[in-house]
Amino acid sequence: MADHAFNIQLQSSWQRELAQSFTSPQALADYLQLPADWVTAHESARSLFPMRVPKPFAALMEPGNTQDPLLLQVLPQSDEFAQVPGYSTDPLDEKNASQIPGLLHKYKSRVLVIFRGGCAVNCRYCFRRHFPYQEHHISKSDLDHMCDYIAQHPDINEVILSGGDPLMASDAHVVDALHRFTALAQIRRVRIHTRLPVVIPQRLTSDLGDALSSLPVPVTMVLHINHAHEVSTELSDFVAQWRQRGIHFLNQSVLLKAINDSLDAQIALHEAVFRAGILPYYLHQLDPVSGAAHFAVDDAKALKLHQQMQSQLPGFLVPTLVRELAGEPNKTPLR
């Protein structure tokens, strides 16, 4: 991993795209023709969590619309300074859930690997916005320790690469790690939890698709799409190519006030996801992380919305409405 600078001309198109992301609210405002004074009023929230927005994602936003549902997910907002009781910097108590560095074993049969810190897009509502692992990488010896731990826990049958975003890593790094994990006979399937292909669809390279499809167990990609406008033609095309290789696609989203908390927005989202060959999986209630309280939708409203979705969509297009609670053996369905 030390050869980044040397590899400049060997970068793939997604890495070039990543390097050209918007990191300043002013530059994004110029691109979208937003009122400059409106952006300036919010800009200081960058100090809480840097802004990062790849161009292909910005291209899906409506020019001139300060309330665009994609823009609101990624633009720093002065509301993030609000101190709200019940909101903390580590709402899931992950600091105490890690048996060995980079591995979270909270649910009996599956482990989550914090494969790579940092993301292609910084979502303002993210529960990991306060985590110190922006530059975190998994080394060969970390992988050894993880494989030892898994071998000692025969109940584990699935490995989930997460982050940050695991697809920030190189193809070789992802594929090597998955070869290591799937060499353990107890591992029946692997998952990759990623938002990167949503914001830079070219990340779904054919080389990586080929390598994943040659693993000895099925691979499921769990994307993170919150709004129908995020389902671009490019994303649909890449997903179709990967599905031809036998790779499964699911979607999880977060219920976000003023972004996707209406029945119309939810129906449009799941219809769009299905058209792209992706099935809805989870709809998450927001984790109570400081700086994100303005995105919260109360439980009563969330449940009502979920009931309405059930009456208007086939069962297989209704995601499970869940919340993650520290100490629980699985994600907790709302009721």
Ligand X SMILES: *Cc1c(COP(=O)(O)O)cnc(C)c1O
What H or E segment, with its residue span, contains residue 332? strand 332-333
To the question of whether residue 147 is assigned a binding role by annotation, the answer is: no
**Number of neighbouring beta carbons within 10 Å of residue 329:** 8
Q: Is 68 in the site for ligand SF4 (CB under 6 A)?
A: no
Q: State which residue, 116 or 229, has the beta carbon closest to ligand X.
A: 116
Please choose which of ligand X, ligand SF4, none residue 224 contacts, taking the beta carbon within 5 to 8 angstroms, the exact cut-off set by kind.
ligand SF4
Q: Is 224 in the site for ligand SF4 (CB under 6 A)?
A: yes
Distance CA 113, CA 216 (A): 19
Q: Is 104 in the site for ligand X (CB under 6 A)?
A: yes
Q: State which residue, 110 or 128, has the beta carbon closest to ligand SF4.
A: 128
Q: Is 112 in the site for ligand SF4 (CB under 6 A)?
A: no
Q: Nearest approach, Cβ of 125 to ligand X (angstroms)?
A: 16
3-state helix, strand, coil in the chain (%, to 5): 40, 15, 45
Q: Is 112 in the site for ligand X (CB under 6 A)?
A: yes
Pick out residues in 139-178 that bind ligand X (CB under 6 A). 160
Q: Specify the length of the chain in residues.
A: 335
Pick out residues in 179-208 that bind ligand SF4 (CB under 6 A). 195
Q: State which residue, 164 or 209, has the beta carbon closest to ligand SF4.
A: 164
Contact indicator for 165, 196 with CB cutoff of 8 Å: yes
Contact indicator for 286, 296 with CB cutoff of 8 Å: yes
Helical H runs in the chain? 13-19, 25-32, 36-40, 55-58, 71-74, 140-152, 171-182, 196-199, 206-213, 233-244, 263-275, 299-312
Q: What residues are designated binding site for [4Fe-4S] cluster? A: 119, 123, 126
Residues of this chain that interact with ligand SF4 (CB under 6 A) are 119, 121-123, 126, 128, 163-165, 195, 224
